[in-house]
């Protein structure tokens, strides 16, 4: 059985006090679940989150990191800095990083390698844009994103990889892929991994769906056999919405 995960990507939201409030609410109301629950607050609030969740099953992830160990990279954060405060999981390749900060496959390869070299877990995000889906190029785009950034990894490194398929047209737009579209793409991703590696890697990797997952649609999306959970943006900022989504899995 693959690990099921519900992860909340808080993006650039919640100040210190608001972070504390949401963490307290989540700790108090966390439903019983076999799924792993992860939250990814902004960098400045990571130490607070780690301390706050010390006795909780909720894990903490960073939203990004730099590939270098240290040095003259103003404004950046390294894997060692994250590990030093107890953060062992990092989201890489989010479409907002790709679109607004110019992160491409080559850069993401360096980041993935740097994180895995430190034994961190990577939530690797990818997905097609609207035009690419409309023209029918979405499978090819997704295959290339995977091939270019992570198919150089050794088989055993895949135990630290979590995939998050996030069609760009569904992120923060209120537009969700249908459960059938999600399942179709997740099955394609698994088949592509099986061809590049083997059945064991393909069957073992957790593939999350992301893009306007809400309390009202989570259950149907999560019911699909190749969807192993979700990466949740907007709906992870409200305790009730996020816990309802956790219950849906």
Q: How many residues bind ligand PGA (CB under 6 A)?
A: 13
Q: Which is nearer to ligand PGA, 6 or 141 (CB)?
A: 6
Contact residues for 185 (Cβ-Cβ < 8 A; gap 6+): 138, 139, 142, 165, 167, 177
- Asked if residue 245 lies in contact with residue 213, where contact means CB atoms within 8 angstroms, the answer is yes
Q: Which is nearer to ligand PGA, 171 or 193 (CB)?
A: 171
Question: Among residues 41, 93, 167, 211, which is the contact residue for ligand PGA, using CB under 6 A?
Answer: 211
> What residue ranges in 78-211 does DSSP mark as E strands?
89-92, 121-126, 161-165, 206-210
**Interaction mask 6-35, ligand PGA, x per CB under 6 A:** ---x--------------------------
Measured in whole angstroms, how far is the alpha carbon of residue 23 from the centre of its chain? Answer: 19
136-150 CB burial, b ≥16 within 10 A, e <16: eebbebbbebbeebb
Give SS3 for 40. strand
Contact residues for 206 (Cβ-Cβ < 8 A; gap 6+): 2, 3, 4, 5, 162, 163, 228, 229
Instruction: For residue 94, indicate whether it is catalytic.
Output: yes
Per CB under 6 A, which region of 23-31, 39-47, 105-113, 209-217 contacts ligand PGA?
209-217
Q: Is 212 in the site for ligand PGA (CB under 6 A)?
A: yes
Instruction: For residue 166, indicate whether it is catalytic.
Output: yes
Give SS3 for 122. strand
Give Cα separations from 215 to 59, 169, 173, 175 (angstroms): 21, 19, 15, 14
Of residues 147 through 166, those in contact with ligand PGA by CB under 6 A are 166
Q: Is 103 in the site for ligand PGA (CB under 6 A)?
A: no
Residues facing residue 8 across a β-bridge: 39, 232
Question: Among residues 210, 217, 227, 245, which is the contact residue for ligand PGA, using CB under 6 A?
Answer: 210
Strand 5-9 relative to strand 229-232, pairing: parallel
CB of 193 to ligand PGA, least distance (A): 21
CB of 127 to ligand PGA, least distance (A): 10
Q: Which of 94, 96, 132, 138 is catalytic?
A: 94
Q: Which is nearer to ligand PGA, 93 or 112 (CB)?
A: 93
Token pair belonging to 54: 């010390």
**Interaction mask 213-242, ligand PGA, x per CB under 6 A:** x-----------------xxxxx-------
Q: Is 63 in the site for ligand PGA (CB under 6 A)?
A: no
Positions annotated as catalytic residues are: 94, 166
Name the site residues for ligand PGA (rule: CB under 6 A): 9, 166, 171-172, 210-213, 231-235
């Amino acid at each position: 059985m693959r690990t099921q995960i519900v992860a909340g990507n808080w993006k650039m939201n919640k100040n210190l006090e608001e972070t504390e409030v949401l963490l307290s609410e989540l700790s108090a109301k966390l439903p019983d679940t076999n799924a792993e629950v992860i939250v990814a607050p902004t960098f400045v609030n990571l130490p607070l989150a780690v301390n706050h969740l010390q006795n909780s099953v909720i894990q903490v992830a960073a939203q990004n990191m730099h590939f270098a160990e240290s040095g003259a990279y103003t404004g950046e954060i390294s894997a060692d800095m994250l590990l030093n405060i107890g953060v062992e999981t990092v989201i890489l390749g989010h479409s907002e990083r790709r679109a607004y900060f110019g992160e491409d496959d080559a850069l993401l390869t360096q980041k993935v390698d740097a994180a895995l070299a430190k034994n961190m877990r990577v939530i690797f995000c990818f997905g097609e844009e609207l035009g690419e889906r409309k023209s029918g190029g979405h499978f090819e785009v997704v295959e290339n994103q995977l091939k270019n950034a992570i198919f150089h990894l050794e088989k055993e490194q895949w135990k630290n990889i979590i995939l998050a398929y996030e069609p760009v047209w569904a992120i923060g737009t209120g537009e969700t892929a249908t459960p059938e579209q999600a399942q179709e793409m997740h099955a394609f991703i698994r088949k592509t991994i099986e061809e590049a590696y083997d059945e064991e890697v393909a069957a073992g990797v957790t593939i999350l769906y992301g893009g306007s997952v809400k309390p009202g649609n989570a259950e149907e999306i999560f019911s699909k056999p190749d969807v192993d959970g979700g990466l949740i943006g907007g709906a992870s900022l409200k305790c009730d919405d996020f816990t309802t989504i956790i219950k849906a899995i």
